[in-house]
Structure 1
Amino acid sequence: MLMNMKDLLAVANEHNFAVPAFNVSSNMILKGVMHTCEEMQAPVIIAIHPDELEFVEDSFVKAVIEEAHKATVPVCVHLDHGSKFEQVLRAIQDGFTSVMIDGAHLSLEDNIAITKKVVEVAHPVNVSVEAELGTIGTADDYGEAGSKEIIYTEVDDAVKFIKETDIDCLAIAIGTAHGLYPKDKKPELALDRLQEIKAAVSIPLVLHGGSGNPDDEIAKSVKLGVNKINISSDIKDAFYQECRKVLQDQAIREPMFIYPKCIEAMNEVIRHKINLFDDADKVKFYK
């Protein structure tokens, strides 16, 4: 069931749960995500970053869209952290049903300007738009980029931004970072800021960089109004840690013998995130 982000998250906003956005950059990861979401009857967002899109190429998106059409659960195909207008156009042409324009590194006025430009081309073709205010940190040197300094989203800026751009959901900065946190670093969410923003706006809110944050904080953020949470590092780490173990057997070479254990290790993490976000068995609200 292919949907755009606006329609998918409207239901999550109404019923107070969060939909996971799993970053997918291989058929094996896609297979695990879709199987587990079907198993748990959990709505899902398949997120692909521009760097991932460069790697998997446009033909992969067609496979994702085909899986979405076959699925019994709602599926959104989303461009994650598009930083250039050209990246957004490519995603729309590929059939993505949602795009993110990340102008958080720009001034507020410049962020508004580029976001309005994206909304003007996306909305007429039923593609929803996510934007970001404030900065997400970076916990390691792998995967998505982040900022050395976390700048928290201001409530007044969020209200102004949404009014002027007509976006469908907003990623806010409340203390998360992309990547896996070092063991000596303790992440902490500014849940009071989340409450203030949620009280002031009506559109769904998004949390980026949720890998490694304590489960109790993430669960609280969902109850306080976060409707989409991005997960990338956690599932990939589980997949490839298991892959390293499997490949200790020097004789093994066939993908059908290598990947099933890796997929199952990843699926355990996916199940945990779905339950943590209260996303299981939510398909019933879309019928």
Structure 2
Amino acid sequence: MLITGKEMLDVARKNKFAVPAFNAGSGQLLTGVMEAAEELQSPFIMAIHPDELSFLKDSFVSQVHHEINNTKLPITLHLDHGATHKQVIHAIQLGFSSVMIDSSHLPFEENIETTKKIVEIAHSVGVSVEAELGTIGDTGNSAEGGASDIIYTDPNKAQEFVERTNIDSLAVAIGTAHGIYPKDRKPKLRIDILEEMKDKVEIPLVLHGGSSNPDEEISRSVGLGISKINISSDIKISFTNKLREILNNGDSQIREPNVMYPDCIEATKTTAKEKINLFKSSNKAELYY
């Protein structure tokens, strides 16, 4: 069941859980997160980054739509970190029900103007819009990218940004980074910023780069109003670690995908289920019926 990002996150915000947004950038990863969500009856967001879409080709979106159309689970198909009007419009034409325009690297006024134009286009055809204020960090090992230095979201600026752009959800910078943190870097969320922001911003808040932060911080952020959390690196690492184990077991004749990938999909499912339970989204699908 395909729904918009607004429909998805308004329910999550009201009921104080976070929807997992999985960057499942292959058919095998898609199978893993679909099966995990089905088993736990969790709504989820299928997020595709422009770089992933460029690699997978538009035909992959047809596969995603097939899965969505053959389940009762509420699912949002979301463009993650759209950087240009062309990327966003292309996603809308492909049937995405939610898009992100990421102009966070621009000055505040330019970010507003760019975002407003996307909102006008997307809302005219019933597609939800996410934008970003502040900058998400970059550990240097993620397709989603980011900034070398985190610029924390100013709660007062966030309130103004939301009011002037009419976006449906806001990605905030409170100390996360895309990718997996190196051993010498310890992630720490600025919960104080989030506490102030939740009283000023009346739309769902989004956390990008949630793979490496401690579970207790993530859980607390959900309680303070985070309604969507992006997960990319964790599920991909689970998949590839299992694949390395299979390929390095001494059997050089292993080559069939239906032999190599089932255990990798199971590893993906295990990680996806852990995130679903951490975000408190298990058994929340019924709230959408």
CA distance in 1, matches of 2:102, 2:14: 26
Amino acid at match of 2:78: H
Amino acid at match of 2:196: E
- Equivalence for 1:142: 142
1:285 pairs with 271, 284, 287, which one? 287
1:268 pairs with 251, 267, 270, which one? 270
Amino acid at match of 1:183: K
CA distance in 2, matches of 1:277, 1:251: 41
Instruction: Give TM-score scaled by structure 2 length.
Output: 0.98
Q: After TM superposition, list the pairs within 5 Å mapping 1:5-16 onto structure 2.
A: 5-16=5-16
CA distance in 1, matches of 2:219, 2:163: 28
Q: After TM superposition, list the pairs within 5 Å mapping 1:208-219 onto structure 2.
A: 208-219=208-219
Alpha-carbon offset, residue 143 of structure 1: 1.8
RMSD of aligned residue pairs (Cα, Å): 0.7
CA distance in 1, matches of 2:39, 2:135: 35
The farther-off stretch of 140-149 and 211-220 is: 140-149
Amino acid at match of 2:277: N
- Equivalence for 2:61: 61
The farther-off stretch of 114-123 and 136-145 is: 136-145
SS at match of 1:62: helix
SS at match of 1:170: strand
Q: After TM superposition, list the pairs within 5 Å mapping 1:1-287 onto structure 2.
A: 1-248=1-248, 249-287=251-289
SS at match of 1:142: coil
SS at match of 2:77: strand
Instruction: Give TM-score scaled by structure 1 length.
Output: 0.99
CA distance in 2, matches of 1:259, 1:231: 20
SS at match of 1:212: coil
Deviations 1:180-202 (A, max 9, x none): 00112110000110011111111
Alpha-carbon offset, residue 62 of structure 1: 1.2
CA distance in 2, matches of 1:148, 1:36: 33
CA distance in 1, matches of 2:277, 2:33: 14
CA distance in 2, matches of 1:224, 1:152: 17
CA distance in 2, matches of 1:201, 1:224: 12
Q: Percent identity?
A: 55
CA distance in 1, matches of 2:288, 2:92: 24
Amino acid at match of 1:89: I
Alpha-carbon offset, residue 283 of structure 1: 1.0
What count of residue pairs does the alignment treat as equivalent?
287
CA distance in 1, matches of 2:188, 2:126: 36
Show structure 1 runs of 5+ residues with no match: none
CA distance in 1, matches of 2:142, 2:153: 25
Amino acid at match of 1:277: F
CA distance in 2, matches of 1:141, 1:186: 15
Alpha-carbon offset, residue 140 of structure 1: 2.6
CA distance in 1, matches of 2:161, 2:201: 10
SS at match of 2:261: helix
CA distance in 2, matches of 1:227, 1:269: 19
Alpha-carbon offset, residue 252 of structure 1: 1.2
SS at match of 2:199: helix
Amino acid at match of 1:20: P
CA distance in 1, matches of 2:49, 2:172: 18
SS at match of 2:131: strand
Which consecutive segments of 4 or more residues in structure 1 shift more than 2 A? Answer: none
The farther-off stretch of 58-67 and 46-55 is: 58-67
CA distance in 2, matches of 1:56, 1:95: 16
CA distance in 2, matches of 1:142, 1:69: 30
Asked if 1 retains the 8 angstrom alpha-carbon contact of 2:100 and 2:130, the reply is yes
Alpha-carbon offset, residue 141 of structure 1: 3.2
Alpha-carbon offset, residue 142 of structure 1: 3.5
